[in-house]
Amino acid sequence: MDNLTKEQRRKNMTRIRSQNTKPERIIEQELKRRKIYFAKQVKTIIGKPDIVFRRKKVIVFIDSDFWHGHPKRYIKPKTNPEYWVPKIEKNVERDKKVNKELKKCGWKVIRLWEYDIKKDLNGCVRKILKAIDKPF
């Protein structure tokens, strides 16, 4: 059972961002600082990637450990698991399907986890730069 009222839960859920999250802004700021240009939130590409390098055919997704079910850092909610567990599993399956479809279309797909961005920003940026053939 949820320990919040419906109104409190609704208020909490509406405040959760799906784009322009803090980890996305951190990566974007670092790329801009290095004068590397990219497109943001491209809705015409399957999966709506967070960052796109069209000429290099490289796509970057920045995934939340919770919403995208990180294999080690995802913590199963104690309240309402019959709702949350299938929802997160569906997100993970959708991510796999999107990756497969994009690769089939010739895109290189990079997925960065929010925790990794917080703990190793340079390593995450290095992955992107390597994929687009830029020196670190």
Domains of the chain (ranges plus CATH)?
20-131 (3.40.960.10)
What stretches of 44-132 adopt beta strand conformation (E)? 51-53, 58-63, 108-113
pLDDT in tens, the chain (136 residues): 566 576 765 665 555 556 679 999 999 999 999 999 999 999 999 999 999 999 999 999 999 999 899 989 988 888 888 988 999 999 999 999 999 999 999 999 999 999 999 999 999 999 999 999 998 8
What stretches of 45-101 adopt beta strand conformation (E)? 51-53, 58-63
Q: Which residues of 65-104 are buried (b: 16+ CB within 10 A; e: fewer)?
A: bbbbbbeeeeeeeeeeeeeeeeebeebbeebeebbeebee
Model pLDDT for residues 102-124, shown as the tens digit of each residue? 999 999 999 999 999 999 999 99
